[in-house]
Amino acid sequence: MASIKVYGIDKKESEEMKLNNKIFDKKVNESVLQQAVRMYLANRRKGSANTKTKGEVRGGGAKPWKQKGTGRARAGSNSSPLWRKGGVTFGPKPRDFHYSIPKKVKDLALRSAVNVKYKNNQIMLIDNLVVKSGKTKDAAEIFSKFCQGEKVLVVKDKISENTFRSMRNLPGIRVISSSSVSTYDILAHDILFSDKDSFANFSNRMMRKV
């Protein structure tokens, strides 16, 4: 049966947590990982780029000069795309890049992302992650025992205000609840760090989707 070690806050092994073989099977589907990441990045795009067309540019009402006799090219409006400060032809307009992939593909991608970390021994579990002092230096001391400069995704449910405050200013650390973890979040960080209760909640969330 799949299992993972659980450490105390002093990095001494305290127990071994059993994992569900249906989830932690070390199988990685790279195709669905790519689909999930592309969807996540596309859905983050604001799509707010905007250029003015000939009809939206200020001015352009009067003909710049008469049609014939000046020796210059014919011109009907100074808002023409051919003119400096004129409108833009086929320029970008606000658009929605949002799209979705099937729910089963999303679920498979999430399990694959977790198994990437599991295969590479990049999941760190501790008994309980609490920083009562609320001081950043105390949180930094804890993380320094488990990682050395890597980007860390902290999965933590029911986090106290002091614990969150102690971690929010640490570079490379992101705190998120087990119900909000996405495929992109896992792949964008080097280490998945959690306490055993929060990780159990996260595992149960994935189990319901098998």
Please give the tally of structural domains in the chain.
Answer: 2
Per-residue pLDDT reduced to its tens digit, 71-114: 999 999 999 999 999 999 999 999 999 999 999 999 999 999 99
Residues 87 and 145 in one domain: no
DSSP secondary structure string for all residues of 127-169:
S----TT--HHHHHHHHHHH-SS--EEEE-SS--HHHHHHHTT
The reported pLDDT for the residue numbered 15 is: 87
Please provide residue 155's backbone torsions phi and psi, each rounded to the nearest 5 degrees.
-100, 110
Confidence of residue 191 (pLDDT cuts 50, 70, 90): very high
Instruction: Tell me how far apart the 2 most distant CA atoms of the chain are, in Å.
Output: 94
To the nearest whole percent, how much of the chain has pLDDT over 70? 99
Residues 121 and 142 in one domain: yes
Give the torsion sign (CA, 131, 117, 177, 204). Answer: negative
Residues 35 and 19 in one domain: yes
Residues 63 and 159 in one domain: no
Residues 181 and 144 in one domain: yes
Residues 181 and 113 in one domain: yes
The reported pLDDT for the residue numbered 61 is: 87
Give the torsion sign (CA, 28, 32, 37, 38). Answer: positive
Residues 151 and 193 in one domain: yes
The reported pLDDT for the residue numbered 184 is: 96
Residues 38 and 139 in one domain: yes
Per-residue pLDDT reduced to its tens digit, 193-205: 999 999 999 998 8
pLDDT(127) > 80: yes
pTM of the model: 0.83
Cα–Cα separations (whole angstroms), residue 139 to 25, 145, 169, 177: 32, 10, 10, 18
The reported pLDDT for the residue numbered 210 is: 63
Residues 90 and 57 in one domain: yes
Per-residue pLDDT reduced to its tens digit, 30-61: 999 999 999 999 999 999 999 999 999 998 88
Residues 70 and 151 in one domain: no
Q: What's the domain range around 143? A: 3-45+101-207
The reported pLDDT for the residue numbered 209 is: 67
Residues 130 and 39 in one domain: yes
